[in-house]
Structure 1
């Protein structure tokens, strides 16, 4: 796929894809003979994972670090796992906090319904 096709399929703008490549989130992209980026299914899987990390609040610096470790191969699996475990703990804390906020909002809604 070229960048336009990849952008359409991934839901990520071409500008964002170029930025992700520039900062190292997208690495080792294939190029055609004229130098244009070429994407494949593995790139779609990777960007979907990046989007999931981003949607769950992982800082871009941590996503970049994860991408860097990923590019270094299997020897970095323990460090990648540790990054994901730390992110999961942070996400669980945010979810718990959001549940408390939601409960307070629902209490207020119940108050208004009674009046």
Structure 2
């Protein structure tokens, strides 16, 4: 019988560390170790992704082929962890899996794809900015309603007679 594992969110890094871990070539950023050492369970716990999702990411091309131990178990490197952290940031911004796969393909294709990667990220940034604007407008509406109910609650209490 499978043990249910709680769904957790990835660990959020501070902004400078998050940016530093998002370098394209190689995944994981400068100085990241490419020695395979982390099991799929360890990576799942650190990333907040399930083992099933990690295998799916590999199958669809979001992750390059992951090294295997002599017994066939996946072994992830620090570079893989850095790449997963970057993918997590893209997911948090609402980037589609298809666009993430396209980006990963461009990274693997090499430096001559810098312009295309730049344009893909720039266009996505504009979508994110628009969503932020929409959310700020929605937040203002919520704040207004909360203020209304905060002011109305004492008045409603005062109208109750025993």
Distance 1:2 1:98 in 2: 38
Q: What CA deviation, in whole Å up to 9, does each residue of 1:10-61 have, x standing for no partner?
A: 2211100000011111113222333322211111110011011111100111
Matched, 1:17 2:32: no
Q: What CA deviation, in whole Å up to 9, does each residue of 1:61-110 have, x standing for no partner?
A: 10110111111121111111111111110000000000001101111122
Matched, 1:54 2:91: yes
Find the counterpart in structure 1 of residue 4 from structure 2.
none
Find the counterpart in structure 2 of residue 90 from structure 1.
127
Q: Normalising to structure 1: TM-score of the pair?
A: 0.92
More helix by share: 1
Distance 2:109 2:65 in 1: 12
Find the counterpart in structure 2 of residue 40 from structure 1.
77
* Number of positions where the alignment pairs a residue of Structure 1 with one of Structure 2: 115
- Greater gyration radius: 2
1:7 is displaced (CA, Å) by: 1.5
Distance 1:33 1:113 in 2: 64
Q: Normalising to structure 2: TM-score of the pair?
A: 0.67
Matched, 1:78 2:115: yes
Further displaced range: 29-38 or 2-11: 29-38
Question: How do 1:89-108 and structure 2 match up within 5 A?
Answer: 89-108=126-145
Q: CA RMSD for the aligned pairs?
A: 1.3
Find the counterpart in structure 1 of residue 10 from structure 2.
none
Further displaced range: 58-67 or 33-42: 33-42
